[in-house]
Every structure is written in structure tokens, then in C-alpha cells.
């Protein structure tokens, strides 16, 4: 085993998806998984297969599609969970089961109501059973950050004896300080020696997740469990992009340690996850925030112009940030130039259908907008690949002048090859649009959040609208995306997109229940 290699285990699709409002549908999860593969992550935790038929389906679809990263499912140390995990990852090229039980006194006493002996026995049974499905089994001592070292050593001996190859020591509640975590990891990785890879999984409740991850790496951990944009339960997990770039940038501190991450894919991955979940990283977020590479003060700008390293410790292009959105195509550009541009921008998996549709949209945009930039094209393609569930398709929108009269919206929607048209009034233009769509489709949505940003600068910029909508009280909210130079048109598209996403999930879950996984 290469002692200097740090394995990157991405849990955006499992722990990240546990962030409030971050649920993704199966198609979206597959897109993220493919991008994580391109990013070069070693293990993708694709979900918690036993959680629901929908989760099982997503993990098994990802297992079929991804070839170069290992596909993992989480499971409690319970027979049925492990079985579902094993079945879901069955068809993967590389596969892993990740099973866990809590080992801290507080969790064992109040949550599990189990003695130490019972926990050890359950852990051994879980690993042995997981081994009947896969060779690669990871065991987590949940709440390791608050567990006692002698007991953790006993659990480690037991599960390594049963066949676990990776031992994960999560700081489940984000409690530890870097110095404390470093000491714990040093003692336990020395104890494990060559018997297993030691992994860390840090939550960010005190804002220390990445600091803890790095302290653990410096103390012997060789797997880091991380998420894109730091998504995850409560305050989130350690962010993949931060941990990876710290190891890469601070060679003086980390020596020969390295990850296999293809760092120019960091920013595209962050954008994809933010667009799909509708959760934008804060503007000053390290590595992927909007301001991460922009210099506001004159002194800094002057310094960077004279010598980049005066104020920049990483090159933006090393993480995939392209600073200047270059002018590229005009309304006379043809399909070949458009296709060429798309592959230059790194979209190598665009289907012919997506390409045709994006090209049509490009032509419409080029008619309306003077300069079509790389960012515009990137958004057109992303929008096309996100809006693939099309139970309802917005065909036309007409809104009245809302300054003098009653705000009114007329909407045409295509459904099953039929075009339905209706109009309605509302308290404002958006209200009128949503009410009309509700009446046309027969679904009534409750808007949870609404966000509009412009893709580029300029008065004629494309508006990108993200809506989060609840369509039935028993389901989570669904995210929809809309793109247009007209903000209200983008709003209507985003609302219909959220409805389509809800319907795709609803139908899939219903079918799955019939088949009893
Ligand atoms: O935070 C945690 O302890 C977890 C485990 C299931 C690894 O997410
Ligand atoms: Zn966690």
C-alpha cells in the first residue's frame, strides 16, 4: 500500500443529502456521481440503500453507471440494512459496504441502550455479514470523537478480525479540537498499524471540520470522508475542495502526501452540486465561493497584476475557476462551433438530444443578447441536462402590465402531446403565474424559497432562477431551475421544473413499493 496516498471518500450523496433541503432525485444523483468520478474520488457513498426504495434504486443505478470509483452504501449494523446495501452495490465494478454502530458512552446508554459487549457482538456480526456480499467493508465507530480510547481499541480489534478493511473514526457531533483529534488519530492509527486504513469523517458544528481532517491526515489517517461544498447534517461536513487543496498547496506541511483528485474539476463539481441542490456556497467560501479569487482592494489588485503570488496562494485555474468569461459565439455561429465550444468547456457526456436542444436555445439567446459568453453556454448545457423530466413543458407565457392593472398571467403548457392554456390573476405577477400553472396542471405548490441570479454581467444577462417548492405535505421540497433573459419566464420554467422533479420522484417511489425491494 502507498503510505502517502490519501483516499478521498465523498459522501455528498449520503451525508450531504441529509442537509435540510438537499434531497436530489435519482437522475440528479447519477449526474453528481458521474462528475465525482471525473473529479477522481476514490469512493462514492451513493446513499443509504435501506432508507427507502428510492434510495436503493439510486445506489444501484449509480453502481451500474460509474466504473472508476468504488460505489458504497451506508448501512446500520442490522442484517436487513446490510443486505439492501449489498444488493444495491452488487453490479458495481468496485464496491464497498459501510456499516456502523455508535461507541460513545452517551450513544450506547441513551440511544442504543446496549452494553459494550452487545455493541461489539453486533459490530462483528455486521462486518461478517457484509463480507458475504463484498470484500471491501468499512466500519465506523459512530461518535468516535466522544468515545473512550480503550473501548475503541477493543472494537477495532473485533471488526478488523471480522474482516473490516477501513476503520472510520467520525467526529459525529463536530466536538473535537484539532489538537485533540490529532492525538486520538495518532494513537489509533499506530494501534491499527497495517491492519486497516484509518479514516476520518468530521462535522462542522464548531467550524473545525476541515482543520480536524487535516490534523488527522498529519497524524496518520489515510482516508478522508468529505462532501462537495461542505454539505451535510446540521453545519455540514469537511469540504472536499478545502481538504484536497490544503494538502496540495501546503506541500511543505504535508510532504509527500497526495490525493488523486483532478483539481480543475473542483469548481465544475461545486457548481453542479449547488445548481442541483439549490444550495449556493457562501460568497466567501474557500476555494469555490464567488469571491474566493477576486481581489477588491486596489493594493491587492496592483500586487496580483505585478506578481500573482503576492496575494494568491493557488491559481484559480488549478481548481477550475476560469476568471474571464470570454466572448465566444455570435448569432451566425453554427452547430459545429457550438459543439466544439461545449467540448472545450469540458462537457464530454452531452447526448445528441441535449446538444440539439441547447443549440436551439443558444440561437434564441444569440438573437436577444449581444455577447454570448462561456458562462452562458455552460448554463445552457447544465440547464438542458437538469431539466430532463418533462411531464409538463412550458410553451408560452404572457403577463400583463402590473403597474396599473390587475396582475394577470396567461400560460400554455404541454402535457401528453396536448397544449393546455389558461389565465389567472394574482396578487403580483409571480402569484398570477404560479396560480395559473397550478390550475393547468392540477397540482398546488407552496413556494419555500426563490432565488434569482444573473449568469453574467450586463443588462441583457441571462437570469437563472431557482425555486424550492413543496407539492404535498408528506414529501420534501423539490428544486426547479429556469433560465431565460426574461426573469418571469425563467421563474415559470423553474416552477414547472420543480413540479416535474416532484412527479418523477413520486411515480418512481410508488412503483418501487410495488416491487418490494
Ligand atoms: O457523522 C457520522 O458519524 C456519520 C457516520 C454514519 C459515518 O455520518
Ligand atoms: Zn456524518
Among 288, 236, 271, 228, CA closest to 13? 228
142 CA → ligand 1 middle, Å:
6
Nearest in space to 420 (alpha carbons), one of 399, 445, 394: 394
Asked if residue 284 belongs to a domain, the reply is: no
Cβ atoms 267, 320 nearer than 8 A: yes
Q: Which domain, by its residues, includes 335?
A: 326-368+375-383
d(CA 306, CA 37): 38
98 lines ligand 1 (CB under 6 A): no
Q: Is the same domain home to 313 and 243? A: no
- For residue 22, the model assigns a pLDDT of 82
Domain match, 487 and 506 both: yes
Residue with cell 426563490: 450
What crossing angle do the helices spanning 335-344 and 374-386 adopt, rounded to 10°? Answer: 90
Q: Which residue out of 9, 142, 238 has the highest number of ligand 1 atoms within 8 Å of its CB and is therefore the one to mutate?
A: 142
Q: CATH code at 494?
A: 3.30.160.270
Task: For strands 463-470 and 446-454, give the pairing.
Answer: antiparallel
Residues near 63 by beta carbon (within 8 Å), at least 6 away in sequence: 46, 71, 88, 89, 90, 91, 92, 95
* pLDDT score, position 328: 65
User: Are residues 329 and 341 in contact, defined by beta-carbon separation less than 8 angstroms?
Assistant: yes
Interatomic CA distance for residues 182 and 220, integer angstroms = 9
For atom 8 of ligand 1, the residue with the nearest CA is 15
Whether residue 340 is contained in a domain is answered as: yes
- Check residue 233 and report its DSSP letter: S
Count CB atoms within 10 A of the CB of residue 314. Answer: 19
Q: Could you give the number of structural domains in the chain?
A: 4
Q: E strands along 426-499, which residues? A: 446-454, 463-470, 478-484
Q: Whose CA is nearest to atom 2 of ligand 1?
A: 172
Bridge partners, residue 398, by sequence: 410
**Does the beta carbon of 237 sit less than 6 angstroms from any atom of ligand 1?**
no
Distance CA 282, CA 493 (A): 25
Please give the C-alpha separations between residue 486 and each of 157, 376, 436, 472, in angstroms, as whole numbers. 62, 14, 18, 29
Ligand 2 centroid–CA 421 distance in Å is 47
Domain match, 267 and 316 both: no
Residue 446, domain member (yes or no): yes
501 domain-assigned = yes
Distance 350 CA to ligand 2 centre (A): 33
Is residue 1 one of the residues assigned to a domain? no
Taking CA atoms, 312 is separated from 115, 244, 456, in Å, by 53, 17, 24
Same-domain pairing of 305 and 331: no
From ligand 1's centre to the CA of 515, what distance in Å? Answer: 30
The closest-lying atom of ligand 1 relative to the alpha carbon of residue 74 is: 6
CA atoms within 13 A on the CB side of 330: 2
Q: Answer yes or no: do 206 and 73 share one domain.
A: yes
Which residue puts its alpha carbon closest to atom 5 of ligand 1?
142
pLDDT value, residue 324: 58
Q: Both 503 and 417 in a single domain?
A: yes
- pLDDT at position 220, please? 98
In a domain? residue 244 = yes
Please tell me if the CB atom of residue 26 comes closer than 6 angstroms to any atom of ligand 1.
no
Whether 102 and 55 map to the same domain: the answer is: yes
Q: Which atom of ligand 1 is nearest to the CA of 144?
A: 3
CA 201 to ligand 1 center in whole angstroms: 7
Give yes or no for residue 172 CB within 6 A of ligand 1. yes
Looking at all shown ligands, the one closest to residue 139's CA atom is 1
Ligand 1 atom 3: the closest Cα is on which residue? 172
Residues having C-beta closer than 5 Å to ion ligand 2: 15
Q: How far is the CA of 445 from the centre of ligand 1 (A)?
A: 34
285, part of any domain: no
Q: How many CB atoms lie within 10 A of CB 91?
A: 13
CATH number at residue 211: 3.20.20.70
Q: Are residues 304 and 362 in the same domain?
A: no
Q: Check whether residue 125 and residue 152 sit in a common domain.
A: yes
201 C-beta closer than 6 A to ligand 1 = yes
Contact between residue 76 and residue 58 where contact means Cβ atoms under 8 Å apart = no
pLDDT for res 295: 74
Among 47, 74, 85, 169, which is best to mutate for testing ligand 1, by the most ligand atoms less than 8 A from CB? 74
Mutate to test the pocket of ligand 1, among 13, 19, 72, 100 (most ligand atoms within 8 A of CB): 100
Smallest CA-to-CA distance from 238 within 214, 264, 266 is with 214
52, 165: one domain: yes
Q: Kindly write down the DSSP assignment for every residue of 14-30, as one continuous string.
A: TTGGGSTT----HHHHH
Read off the pTM.
0.87
Q: Is 362 in the pocket of ligand 1 (CB under 6 A)?
A: no
CA angle 230, 234, 237 (to 5 degrees): 30
Q: Could you tell me whether strands 223-226 and 197-202 are parallel, antiparallel, or unpaired per DSSP bridges?
A: parallel
- Are residues 69 and 172 both part of a single domain? yes
CB 194 within 8 A of CB 225: no
* Sign of the Cα pseudo-torsion (71, 26, 494, 331, in order): positive
Angstrom distance (rounded) from CA 487 to CA 425: 18
The tens place of each residue's pLDDT in the chain, 517 residues long, gives 899 999 999 999 999 998 877 878 888 999 999 999 999 999 999 999 999 898 999 999 999 999 999 999 999 999 999 999 999 999 999 999 999 999 999 999 999 999 999 999 999 999 999 999 999 999 999 999 999 999 999 999 999 999 999 999 999 999 999 999 999 999 999 999 999 999 999 999 999 999 999 999 999 999 999 999 999 999 999 999 999 999 999 999 999 999 999 999 999 999 999 989 889 999 999 999 988 988 777 777 778 788 888 888 999 999 998 765 565 677 788 888 888 888 877 777 788 888 888 898 888 888 888 778 888 888 888 887 777 778 999 999 999 866 778 899 999 999 999 999 999 999 999 999 999 999 999 999 999 999 998 887 788 888 989 999 999 887 778 889 899 999 999 999 999 999 998 888 776 545 433 332 2
Closest-lying ligand 1 atom to the alpha carbon of residue 225: 7
β-partners of residue 197 are 166
- Contact between 410 and 397 (Cβ < 8 Å): yes
232: left (phi over 0), alpha (psi -120 to 50) or beta: left
Range list of H helices, 278-330 = 298-306
Ligand 1 pocket, residue 100 CB under 6 Å:
yes
At 255 the three-state DSSP class reads coil
Q: Which ligand has its closest atom nearest to the C-alpha of 102?
A: 1
Whose CA is closest to atom 1 on ligand 1? Answer: 172
Ligand nearest to the CA of 238: 2
The distance of Cα 136 from the centroid of its chain, to the nearest Å, equals 24
- Does residue 283 form part of some domain? no
Please tell me whether residues 103 and 164 are part of one structural domain: yes
What is d(CA 18, CA 22) in angstroms, rounded to the nearest whole number? 7
| Residue of 103, 170, 236 to test ligand 1 pocket, by largest number of atoms within 8 Å of CB | 170
408-415/418-425 β-pairing: antiparallel
Please count the helices (runs of H) and the strands (runs of E) in the chain: 17, 16
Residues 6+ apart with CB under 8 A from 112: 101, 102, 119
**For residue 8, how far is its CA from the centre of ligand 1 (angstroms)?**
16
The whole-number pLDDT of residue 515 equals 33
CB neighbour burial string for 133-142, b if at least 16 within 10 angstroms, e if fewer: bbebbbbbbb
Amino acid at each position: 500500500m502507498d503510505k502517502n496516498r490519501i483516499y478521498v471518500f465523498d459522501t455528498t450523496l449520503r451525508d450531504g443529502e441529509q442537509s435540510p433541503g438537499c434531497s436530489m432525485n435519482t437522475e440528479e444523483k447519477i449526474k453528481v456521481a458521474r462528475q465525482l468520478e471525473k473529479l477522481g474520488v476514490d469512493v462514492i457513498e451513493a446513499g443509504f440503500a435501506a432508507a427507502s426504495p428510492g434510495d436503493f434504486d439510486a445506489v444501484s443505478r449509480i453502481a451500474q453507471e460509474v466504473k472508476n470509483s468504488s460505489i458504497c452504501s451506508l448501512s446500520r449494523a442490522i442484517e436487513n440494512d446490510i443486505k439492501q446495501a449489498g444488493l444495491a452495490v452488487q453490479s458495481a465494478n468496485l464496491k464497498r459496504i459501510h456499516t456502523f454502530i455508535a461507541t460513545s458512552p452517551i450513544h450506547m446508554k441513551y440511544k442504543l441502550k446496549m452494553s459494550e459487549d452487545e455493541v461489539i457482538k453486533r459490530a462483528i456480526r455486521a462486518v461478517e455479514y457484509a463480507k458475504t456480499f463484498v470484500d471491501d467493508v468499512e466500519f465506523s465507530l459512530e461518535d468516535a470523537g466522544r468515545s473512550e480510547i480503550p473501548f475503541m481499541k477493543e472494537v477495532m480489534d473485533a471488526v478488523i478480525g471480522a474482516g473490516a478493511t477501513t476503520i472510520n473514526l467520525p467526529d459525529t457531533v463536530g466536538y473535537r479540537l484539532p489538537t485533540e483529534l490529532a492525538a486520538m488519530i495518532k494513537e489509533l492509527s499506530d494501534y491499527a498499524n497495517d491492519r486497516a486504513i484509518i479514516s476520518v469523517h468530521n462535522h462542522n458544528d464548531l467550524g473545525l471540520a476541515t482543520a480536524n481532517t487535516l490534523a488527522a491526515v498529519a497524524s496518520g489517517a489515510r482516508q478522508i470522508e468529505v462532501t462537495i461544498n461542505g454539505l451535510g447534517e446540521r453545519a455540514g461536513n469537511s469540504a472536499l475542495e478545502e481538504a484536497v487543496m490544503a494538502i496540495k498547496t501546503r506541500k511543505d506541511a504535508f510532504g509527500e502526501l497526495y490525493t488523486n483528485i483532478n483539481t480543475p474539476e473542483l469548481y465544475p463539481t461545486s457548481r453542479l452540486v449547488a445548481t442541483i441542490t439549490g444550495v449556493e456556497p457562501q460568497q466567501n467560501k474557500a476555494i469555490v465561493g464567488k469571491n474566493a479569487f477576486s481581489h477588491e482592494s486596489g493594493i491587492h489588485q496592483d500586487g496580483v497584476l505585478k506578481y500573482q503570488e503576492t496575494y494568491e496562494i493557488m491559481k484559480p485555474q488549478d481548481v477550475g475557476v476560469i476568471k474571464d468569461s470570454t466572448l465566444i459565439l455570435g448569432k451566425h455561429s453554427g452547430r459545429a462551433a457550438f459543439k466544439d465550444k461545449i467540448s472545450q468547456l469540458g462537457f464530454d457526456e452531452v447526448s445528441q438530444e441535449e446538444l440539439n436542444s441547447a443549440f436551439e436555445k443558444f440561437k434564441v439567446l444569440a438573437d436577444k443578447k449581444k455577447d454570448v459568453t462561456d458562462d452562458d453556454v455552460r448554463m445552457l448545457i447544465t440547464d438542458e441536462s437538469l431539466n430532463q423530466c418533462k411531464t409538463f413543458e412550458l410553451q408560452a407565457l404572457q403577463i400583463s402590465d402590473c403597474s396599473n392593472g390587475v396582475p394577470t398571467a396567461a400560460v400554455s403548457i404541454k402535457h401528453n402531446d396536448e397544449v393546455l392554456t389558461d389565465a389567472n390573476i394574482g396578487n403580483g405577477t409571480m402569484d398570477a403565474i404560479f396560480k395559473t400553472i397550478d390550475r393547468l396542471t392540477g397540482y398546488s405548490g407552496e413556494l419555500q424559497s426563490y432565488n434569482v441570479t444573473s449568469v453574467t454581467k450586463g443588462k441583457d444577462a441571462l437570469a437563472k432562477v431557482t425555486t424550492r417548492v413543496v407539492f404535498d405535505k408528506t414529501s420534501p421540497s423539490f428544486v426547479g431551475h429556469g433560465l431565460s433573459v426574461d426573469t418571469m419566464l425563467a421563474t415559470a420554467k423553474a416552477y414547472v421544473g420543480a413540479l416535474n422533479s416532484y412527479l418523477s420522484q413520486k411515480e418512481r417511489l410508488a412503483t418501487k413499493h410495488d416491487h418490494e425491494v
